[in-house]
Amino acid sequence: MAKKVFPNGFLWGGATAANQCEGAYNEDGRGLSSVDVVPYGEERMRVNRGERKMLSCEPGFQYPAHEAIDFYHHYAEDIRLFAEMGFKCYRMSIAWTRILPNGDDDVPNEKGIQFYRSVFDECRKYGIEPLVTIDHFDTPIALIERYGGWRDRRMIDAYIKYCRVIFKEFGGLVKYWITFNEINMLLHMSFMGAGIYFEPGEDKDEIKYTAAHHELVASARAVKLAHEMMPGSKIGCMLAAGQFYPYSCDPADIWDGLEKDRDNYFFIDVQARGAYPVWAKKRMERAGVTLPLAEGDAETLREGTVDFVAFSYYCSRCTTADPVLFEKNARPGNAVFKAVVNPHLKSTEWGWQIDPLGLRVTVNTLYDRYQKPLFVVENGLGAVDKLEADGTVHDQYRIEYMRAHLEALRDAVCEDGIPVIGFTSWGCIDLVSASSGEMKKRYGMIYVDKDDKGGGTLARYRKDSFYWYQNVIRTNGEEL
Ligand code: BGP
């Protein structure tokens, strides 16, 4: 029997985001960004959803992004550890306000440019291919104050101005780009995804779909610009994926699942195919939403289709058309996507259901729909780890989670023949959780000594999963 391995040149690696790892939030000329004012604790989700306005750091709150794991000062050490694991690729994001502190400055911040150049040089030193997210939950506060975030069309020009700078500065060092992290998240976490907070009485749907349209136009323009300024570059979109399974075979549940999936695929349909799907207009009509289509937008979307489809996958979702059942079986906790508990699956400590086969389902579904190369740019297990006195961390549960998901991905590649460019595990080094702001929800294969209250030495330690993943990469996924 033929050996099951990943294709030659498969981009194995890990993923982080600037706001969740860099820290140094006010150093070297960096401007304030949306993520800097999202606090730890009970108010976090309300701020993330745009339900509570918080545009500055208020007394009495703790802001985890301010220091995070201080990647800003530890990047050389961290990239050395990535190289030791054998990474071929490192997914990271650029903090918009490190480059343009007010979001659209005419003169970029030289120190910000220097920092990322050093990071990319360090990657290149070890033969690691950077994969850069242009905007990972990161809207400059100055633009939120001026425009109210992505609800305003002027955000598009500011974003393109920022793209122009980073493409010019880093085009020679970076080949792979992603326009927006988890673009569909803006429907659920509007401040996190689009710098939007809602005033009482505002039509939330109208604002969200308007912001979505602006991000989609910005994404299409960025794709076109990347191809012009950096010939040979590859630029993709990014979906928070995970299919909605119907709770039962009742046709009403099947329809409900299809409708809920469309809320997410809608974005990628535009980015990968270049136009709104036919049903989208009808849906918006029903919701009383008029899209702010300006002259030339349709053409821009058509001309700015992506080279690949990237996505995060943590779990599948489950739904029913029966409102009573939905209420009764609702997923516990602060779930971003409203869903019911799937009785066939176990859950993580944070209530995320574990479904490795769902990754194979997702890969197949996305390829059937888009026929573009795929890139798994986030997957991993958030869990509480224990650092032993001798500096070891025995995270067998994480190894099991990753093994099962990589087996499913390998089946999608080897058995189903789906073209997948690479796999970057989320939070390859422990970092701040986006939804909860916790440090104790750890994803890393590298442990960082930092706690939820902001204490800790910031020292780095290799977990058991570090050595396991090192072998996975060494054998190109033959030994999982
Ligand atoms: C995705 C985000 C990441 C990351 C991950 C894990 O939604 O793109 O930024 O944080 O989820 O989620 P969390 O940190 O909430 O556990």
100 contacts 57 by C-beta, under 8 angstroms: no
pLDDT of residue 179: 98
Residue 76 Cα to ligand 1 midpoint, Å, equals 24
Torsion angle of C-alpha atoms 11, 471, 461, 349, degrees rounded to 10: 80
Ligand 1 near 182 CB (within 6 A): yes
Apex 287 CA angle, 285 and 292, nearest 5: 60
Query: Which class for 22: exposed (0-12), middle (13-18), buried (19 or more C-beta within 10 A)?
Result: buried
CA distance 11 to 476: 10
Which letter does DSSP use for residue 393 in this model? -
Distance 54 CA to ligand 1 centre (A): 21
d(CA 29, CA 107): 12
Angle 356-370/396-414 helices, nearest 10 degrees?
A: 30
Residue nearest to atom 3 of ligand 1 (CA): 434
Q: CB of 46 within 8 A of CB of 52?
A: yes
| Ligand 1 site, residue 133, Cβ cutoff 6 A | no
Task: Retrieve residue 42's tokens.
Answer: 């009970």
435 lines ligand 1 (CB under 6 A): yes
Ligand 1 mean position, distance from CA 434 (Å): 5
Q: How far is the CA of 241 from the centre of ligand 1 (A)?
A: 12
82: left (phi over 0), alpha (psi -120 to 50) or beta: alpha
* Segment 143-186, tens digit of pLDDT: 999 999 999 999 999 999 999 999 999 999 999 999 999 999 99
Q: Which of 435, 438, 452 to mutate to test the pocket of ligand 1 (most atoms within 8 A of CB)?
A: 435
Query: How do 374-378 and 420-426 pair as beta strands?
Result: parallel
Q: Is 241 in the pocket of ligand 1 (CB under 6 A)?
A: no
**C-alpha torsion sign, points 147, 22, 308, 160:** positive
Distance from Cα 433 to the centre of ligand 1, integer Å? 6
Name the CATH superfamily, with its identifier, for domain 11-312+366-403+424-474: Glycosidases (3.20.20.80)
Q: How many other C-beta atoms lie within 10 A of the C-beta of residue 114?
A: 13
Tell me the pTM: 0.97
Which of 129, 182, 215, 438 is flagged as catalytic?
182
At residue 462, what are phi and psi to the nearest 5 degrees? -80, 130
253 CB less than 6 Å from ligand 1?
A: no
Per-residue pLDDT of the chain (480 residues; tens, 9 = 90+): 678 999 999 999 999 999 999 999 999 999 999 999 999 999 999 999 999 999 999 999 999 999 999 999 999 999 999 999 999 999 999 999 999 999 999 999 999 999 999 999 999 999 999 999 999 999 999 999 999 999 999 999 999 999 999 999 999 999 999 999 999 999 999 999 999 999 999 999 999 999 999 999 999 999 999 999 999 999 999 999 999 999 999 999 999 999 999 999 999 999 999 999 999 989 999 989 999 999 999 999 999 999 999 999 999 999 999 999 999 999 876 678 889 999 999 999 999 999 999 999 999 999 999 999 999 999 999 999 999 999 999 999 999 999 999 999 999 999 999 999 999 999 999 999 999 999 999 999 999 999 999 999 999 999 999 999 999 999 999 999
Handedness of CA 97, 140, 312, 353 (dihedral sign): positive
Distance (Å) from CA 302 to ligand 1 centroid: 30
Q: Which two tokens stand for residue 273?
A: 């195919």
Maximum separation of any 2 CA atoms in the chain, in Å: 64
- Radius of gyration, CA atoms only, the chain: 21
Looking at residue 1, its pLDDT comes to: 62
Domain ranges across the chain: 11-312+366-403+424-474
Q: What is the DSSP letter of 30?
A: P
Of 378, 388, 407, 415, which is the active-site residue? 378
Q: Residue 169 catalytic?
A: no
Q: What is the pLDDT of residue 332?
A: 77
CB atoms closer than 10 angstroms to residue 285: 10
Q: Which atom of ligand 1 is nearest to the CA of 350?
A: 16
- Cα–Cα distance for residue pair 49/222, rounded to 1 Å: 26
The rounded distance, in Å, linking the Cα atoms of 19 and 195 is 14
Pocket probe mutation, ligand 1, options 71, 135, 433, 452, max atoms within 8 Å of Cβ? 433
Find out whether the beta carbon of 438 lies less than 6 Å from any atom of ligand 1: no
In short, whether 220's Cβ falls inside 6 Å of ligand 1 is: no
